[in-house]
Structure formats: C-alpha cells, structure tokens
Amino acid sequence: MYVLDTSIVINQPKEIWDLEDPIYITRATLAELEHLSNQGKREGFIGFQFIEELKKKKRVEIVGPRPSPVQIQYAKKGGEIDNLIREVAKSLDATLVTSDRVQYLVAKAEDIPALLILPEGSLPFEKYFKKNVMSVHIKENTHVQIKEGHPGGWKLITLEDFTDSETVTHIVSQIENYARVNNIFFEILRDGAKVVQIHDYRIVIAYPPFADAREITIVKPIKRLTIEDYNLRKELLERINREAEGILIAGSPGSGKTTFANALANYYVSQNKVVKTLEEPRDMDVPPEVSQYKRLEGSYEYTKDILLLVRPDYVFFDEVRRTEDFHTYIDLRMAGIGMIGIVHAKAPIDAIERFINRVELGMIPQIIDTVLFIEGGQVSQVYTLNQVIKVPSGMFERDLARPVVEIRDFFTEKLLYEIYKFGEETVVYRLKQKSSKLEKELSRIFDRFKLEQDGKRWRVLVPKEELKKINKKAAKKLLKKYNLHFDVDDTA
C-alpha cells in the first residue's frame, strides 16, 4: 500500500506507474490542490489531471480527513498538510511516497515507511545551451530563439522547434518542480512573473495578466573571467585596489557588466577582503565566502542594518535601479563601506546623472569616485570624479567661483564634464573635444599642461616650473591663433 503526498502528485515521476495497488491519496492533498487551483496556479490543475489519469490504470482510494482552512493557509510555513498526510500513512501502515526531502526525513524520524522519488535531474531547456549560447527564449505558439555569441557580438537565431501552449506549460511545470524538489526558492514571485536562479541559469517566467502569453527566458553566462582576463592597465588596477571605494559599473543590457562584477568580486576576495552582495534576483557568480543578500522582510532598510553589523569591506549592488536602491547605495557608502553599484546606462555620464538630485552635489565625489563603463565585455572608458572650487568653464568673473564636480578621463586626465549649481539648477556641462592639433603644438612648448575649454576660448593650465621655460614668442603666436589664455596649475 502506498500513500502519495502532494509533491508526488504534482511532479508525476514515471516510477509511480510501477507501484502496486492500492494507491491512496489523502483529502489533505486534494484540499491543497484545490487551494492552488483557486489561486490560479497550474500545479493544482496538473495534480487533478494526474489523479484522473492514475484512476484509469490503478486502484485509487481517497482517504483521511480534510484539513481546516487554517491548516491549508499555513501549509508551507508550518507543514500542517504534510503532517496530516503522514498521519494517514501511519494509520494505514502504508509507505509514504514523496518528492519532498524534508517530508521524507520527517517520516523516517517518525518511523513511517517512506520512499523518496525525485524528478529527473535534467532541465528541459538545457539541450539548447550549446557552445556560446547566451540565452534561450521560449514563448507559446512561436519558435524557440537563442542568442549566440558574446556580449557586444551576438546574433539571434530562430530554431525549428515550435512550442505550443501545452509545451510551454509543461516546461514551466518542470522548472517549478525542479526548484521545489531541490529546495531552490523563487527570487521574485508576482502575479504574472516569477524569477528563479537554478545553478548557472537565471530563469524569468512571464504569463498573463502581466504578459500577453506565457514565455520563458533563460540566461546563462558563457564563461567565467578573472580580473586578469580583462588586461587592465596597471594604474587602473592600483586605483581599484587602493583608492576606489565608490565604483559604478555601467553599461547597456548584455554588455557584460555582471560578468566583470563577478571577476572584481573574486579579485577582492583573493585580496582578503570581506565581500557581500545585494541582489534581486541573486545571479552573481561569487565564491562561497561571499554572502548574497536581498531585501530583508521586503525592505533594504533592514538589510542595511545587518550589513553595518557584519562590517564588509565591499558590497556589490546588482542592480541599482529604483529610488530605494540609490538611497541604499548612498547610505552604505556614506557609512564608510566600499560600494560597487551595477547600473544600466548608455554612457558613463548617464550613470552619474542618476545620482543628481538624490544627494547634495558636494557629496557626489564621496559617493562615486570611479565609473567603469563596459562595452562588448571590456572596460572601454574610465571616469574619475573630484570636487574643486573654481570658476566653471564658460564663465570668466572671479566672483563666480563655486564648488564644481570635475569628471575626467582616468587615463588622459582630460576634463570631460563639470557639474555645478547655477541658481537653483544643477548644470552638467560637457566640454567640447579638445583640438588634437592644438595639443600637438602646445606639447612643443610645454612638457606638462592641461587644456580646458573656457566658453569660446581655450584655457591652458601650466605648472609654475613650466612657465619659467616658456618660449614667449611661440606662446604669443598660439595665443593669437587659438584665442588662448594661460593659468597656473596649482594642483600640479
């Protein structure tokens, strides 16, 4: 005699058909399936359909008491339904058949004969993940599509496989069963969308009313990289290792931001740093030493309290999107924690601008000191931020001096943008690209100089010792030709 619990009825392993009659199904299982069906969850309907098929080939009897509404409500948290099923198996002196490891262990502890049958180990979409496949896209009544290649160099391929509504429903069921049996919880569970991380696969399931039809998107990193694989210049690696504590990793979707973040997190761990992550969903590929956190009781406010107690050296925030996310990043950085935020942006300046008006202008360089922009899986641009007191570019009167956030190219030290207050407005001023011809001519006169655009004029900042060596005749010629004016560079 065998008693099937709810997990077996939903998972439907093929071994069930080999069990000898009679087979018992409890009213507790029926009540749980009814509850799932009333919530619009497919597991309930799948379970009832399986019971009908089982009745056609096996002698099936419905036994046991029906649980109370309270027992149904707290079935997952308190295990009340599972307890009722075990009690029925015990009273009948039957073997309990389950796909739930916890149910199996409890039954064995209570000396109830139990049989654990797990679903097949493979996932239905794994067959599509051949070499260089980044993601698989499945939608009902369409052909399966795959993205093949690498960040910044992929192509979308439509396969011959056609997935109707029934096939997509079955794939979703298999994914959910696999997660349930292996005690993998869903990162996001909403009315119309689910997100789960199974091993290397990030799986997004969308269905009505959120989506117009059922669809499944599965993303898998094609390779794991180390920080050495990026061939970063020595000076940048030194900055990351010693100076940078407010880092933004920016780029467009699919550019390779998270892959780089994984490499950087692993690098920090190798440098004996305490690293944590904030993720929702959790899909960073980090070593076991790194704890991966999400919202505690639905709020980052509680998460911040825990992070301050565990005292990490660095926190990776994947991804910074909502206003609450920005405030969390800002608060943790101002508390002295090294922060690495991953931000969607089409240009480096866009990532910085998203912090404007969320924090006082003068605090921005304390919160963000380095922006790493990722394109095609590589670090393509690096910006640094610093605050100075000066007359903003385009203004000339000395009494217009004010705090200005300078954004420079890390490698060339060229000034690219200035951020400052003008009345009540925050101005993000983009300096025009400097003339390479002018720079070439200046380099014949000065060994060291900085060139900035000041309205319609060029400002040449020169260290004091360089002024002593100036060729006045050549300088006068350039002054007239390019409408220049010279200033002493006090920072040099």
Task: Encode the chain (492 residues) as per-residue pLDDT tens digits.
Answer: 899 999 889 888 888 888 988 999 999 999 989 988 887 777 788 889 999 999 999 999 999 998 887 777 666 655 788 899 999 999 999 999 998 888 899 999 999 999 998 766 668 898 899 888 999 999 999 999 999 987 767 899 999 999 988 889 888 888 887 887 777 888 888 889 999 988 889 999 999 999 999 999 999 887 788 999 999 999 999 999 988 999 999 999 888 899 999 999 999 999 999 999 999 888 888 888 999 998 898 889 999 999 999 999 999 999 899 999 999 999 999 999 999 999 999 999 999 999 998 999 999 999 999 999 999 889 999 999 999 999 888 777 788 899 999 999 998 888 999 999 988 899 999 886 655 677 777 777 777 777 776 656 677 777 777 777 677 777 777 777 777 777 776 554
The class that CATH gives domain 126-219 is alpha beta
Closest CA to 449 of 464, 429, 435, 471: 464
CATH topology identical between 2-116 and 126-219 = no
Radius of gyration of the chain (CA): 31
- Delimit the domains of the chain by residue range: 2-116, 126-219, 227-430, 436-488
C-alpha to C-alpha distance for 157 and 353, rounded to whole angstroms: 36
Could you tell me the fold of the domain covering 227-430? Rossmann fold (3.40.50)
488, containing H or E segment: strand 484-488
Query: Would strands 246-251 and 215-219 be described as parallel, antiparallel, or unpaired?
Result: unpaired
**Level-2 CATH architecture, domain 2-116:** 3-Layer(aba) Sandwich (3.40)
Type of residue found at 274: V
Give me the sign of the Cα torsion angle 315, 320, 325, 328: positive
DSSP string of 32-89, one letter each residue: HHHHHHHTT-HHHHHHHHHHHHHHHHS-EEEESPPPPHHHHHTHHHH-HHHHHHHHHH
C-alpha to C-alpha distance for 351 and 369, rounded to whole angstroms: 12
